Structure 1
Amino acid sequence: MDGDVYVAPRYLAGSSGVGDAGFAPVAHWPHHHLDDGPHQLVVTSPDHRIRIGWAGDDYDLWTITAAPDAMSQPQWMAIANQNTPAELVGALTAALVQDWAEDSNRFLSAAGPRSDAVDPLIAAGWTIGGLDRGLLHINAPDGQAGATVDIIDPYADESITLWGGPAGWGTRAEIVFSSRTPPHLIAATAKAFTDPAPVPRWRDTLHPRLTAHARLAPVEPPQAPAPTPRDIRSRFSVRPPVPVGSVPRWSTTTPSALLPARPAARR
């Protein structure tokens, strides 16, 4: 367990600083550690049609693309910034692993209406907030997360954006999907935003503006205080010793009147 507190909702947990949770579903795929370029690590599907890049010191921390073949331009792209919890990215990479097969294009197919992409949010009680300059806004009940859908230009580079946390460079998490991203992959990511399970973090690394809205619970419950002598006596019902002088004792000088009568001799 990497952390001393659990954070909920998970979209307020911020980045853990490592990509373990995002890469866990693709741990069995080829890993490429790069010295040059914006991405320090690139994980690919076995046929290289799916690429997952991680830039440890960049604002756009994750870049995920899919193409019809290894040499083609990406058909769609998803970018997650440096504030995005890796657990949310992991929901997308897990869906890609489930979709990928050498003879399948499911991870490329945009079948189904775009509204399917945000269905998990509506099912979880998120509400439609209205239109603003061609963007449809969907808001979480606490107002600290949401989605924006470009309904004017369905082919926009930023077709659907999932976000969480207060606005600001160090607090707002964002995952941006391009227009041809299959709706079921966006839906899998959106569902992770509504997952009530908390995620572990180190308390000292959390941004104060996130902790102001999040619920924190210790990973290990606090230890009970050491018992006091009074607690021990009450627990085991220990009684104080009886004074020696109060214990009755018989001696050779005890008056015979106090001794038990001898039994009468048999005739």
Structure 2
Amino acid sequence: MPHDDHDTIDGDVYVSPRHLARATAVGDPGLDPLRDLGWDLHHDDLGNAYLTAPDGKVRLGYLPEGKDDGLWRINAYKDAFGPPAWGVCFNDSAPTEFVTAFTTALAAAYEQGPDAYLAAPDPRSKDRDPFLAVVPLINRGWQIDRPRWGVFAVRSADGLAGLEFTTGDLDPKTELTTRDARWQLWAGTVIDHPAWYATASTDTPVALVRAVTECVSDPAPLPRWREDTHSYVEVMARLTPILPPRPPAPTPLDVQRTVARRPVVLPAASVPRWSTTSRPVLPGHRR
């Protein structure tokens, strides 16, 4: 995630491709898009954070002290006191930028209303076709894969990341509590032991899933601290040192000010030069 302002980069190396990066140590960027909407934030005694929409129909849990590796859990509800309409989970190693992409899209959808943040996928709709979430990956070189029956999948060019879409009927409760969900995005050498993963249940709006696939497949690298790039996947990544900030180019006003500060040098007064020729002989007596 390069920046024009190098002072804002939190890291000393760029990790490329970005799907080989890990989570950052701070989760605030993932919370900020929803906090900026005025959502209620509170913590429990263990240090877990919870964000709740004003109408109570969207909830986010940031759970560093949770019961499993599901660090981020986001659920939406048709009825604030009913079961979730959809649920999304990012585990504790998923790059924070991918979570931020999701919460940014969720914030935009929430401002549009329930018709946006509760818009279930529909293959008959040109705006809600699940395949729209796969398009960004295919456009950036991911290849269609057939890992097993009943699963449509695409794989990154290096084979170290994949997206799976499971067809057929799924148990709604299982989707919300396990990795057996409609959508699963992951990185690693094998899906059973991924470096990181994210899941989304059947009725998760396509626009929200697409926001994540757009971010995952972005060719720009992600900044990280070298000492934190130690996972078995990150050793396969390309690490590029982040150069120190360059001095900004002078503006026309800077040039004018520099010229104005220069001392004025007056031209030197005319001074007769020494001549190297002999002076004419004056008349007088010869010796």
TM over 0.5, yes or no? yes
More displaced, 96-105 or 197-206?
96-105
1:264 is matched with which residue? 281
Output one character per residue of 1:167-205: Cα deviation in whole Å (capped at 9) or x when no partner: 489862111111111112111111111112222222112
2:130 is matched with which residue? 114
Q: Give the 3 Å change call, closer, same or farther, for CA 101–71 of structure 1 in structure 2.
A: farther
1:9 is matched with which residue? 17
- Number of positions where the alignment pairs a residue of Structure 1 with one of Structure 2: 230
Equivalent position to 1:54, from 53, 62, 65 = 62
* 2:173 corresponds to 1:163: no
The one-letter code matched in structure 1 to 2:237 is: A
Q: Give the 3 Å change call, closer, same or farther, for CA 50–206 of structure 1 in structure 2.
A: same
Q: Give the 3 Å change call, closer, same or farther, for CA 15–103 of structure 1 in structure 2.
A: closer
Coordinate RMSD, CA, aligned = 2.7
Output one character per residue of 1:120-167: Cα deviation in whole Å (capped at 9) or x when no partner: 111222110124132122101111111011123366621011112334
Paired with 1:103 and 1:88, the residues of 2 have a C-alpha distance of 23
Output one character per residue of 1:14-46: Cα deviation in whole Å (capped at 9) or x when no partner: 11132122112223222121226xx80011222
Q: Give the 3 Å change call, closer, same or farther, for CA 152–171 of structure 1 in structure 2.
A: closer
Equivalent position to 1:70, from 41, 63, 80 = 80
Paired with 2:103 and 2:42, the residues of 1 have a C-alpha distance of 16
1:141 is matched with which residue? 157
Q: Structure 1, unaligned stretches of length 5 or more?
A: 224-258
TM-score normalised by structure 1 residue count: 0.77
CA contact (8 A) 1:155 1:180 kept: no
Equivalent position to 2:144, from 128, 150, 162 = 128
Q: Give the 3 Å change call, closer, same or farther, for CA 199–21 of structure 1 in structure 2.
A: farther
Q: Matched residues, percent identical? A: 36
CA contact (8 A) 2:195 2:231 kept: no
Q: Give the 3 Å change call, closer, same or farther, for CA 83–103 of structure 1 in structure 2.
A: closer
- 1:209 Cα deviation from its structure 2 partner: 1.9
The one-letter code matched in structure 1 to 2:32 is: A
CA contact (8 A) 2:58 2:75 kept: yes
Secondary structure of the structure 2 residue equivalent to 1:18: coil
2:206 is matched with which residue? 183
Paired with 2:207 and 2:245, the residues of 1 have a C-alpha distance of 42
Output one character per residue of 1:211-251: Cα deviation in whole Å (capped at 9) or x when no partner: 3221212233499xxxxxxxxxxxxxxxxxxxxxxxxxxxx
1:228 is matched with which residue? none
- 1:208 Cα deviation from its structure 2 partner: 4.2
- 1:264 Cα deviation from its structure 2 partner: 2.3
Equivalent position to 1:18, from 14, 26, 33 = 26
TM-score normalised by structure 2 residue count: 0.72
- 1:63 Cα deviation from its structure 2 partner: 0.5
More displaced, 164-173 or 151-160?
164-173
Paired with 1:152 and 1:192, the residues of 2 have a C-alpha distance of 27
2:197 is matched with which residue? 174
Q: Give the 3 Å change call, closer, same or farther, for CA 11–179 of structure 1 in structure 2.
A: same
Q: Give the 3 Å change call, closer, same or farther, for CA 24–218 of structure 1 in structure 2.
A: farther
The one-letter code matched in structure 2 to 1:201 is: R
Secondary structure of the structure 1 residue equivalent to 2:233: helix
Equivalent position to 1:96, from 95, 100, 106 = 106
1:211 is matched with which residue? 234
CA contact (8 A) 1:117 1:187 kept: yes
More displaced, 101-110 or 198-207?
101-110
Higher-Rg structure is: 1
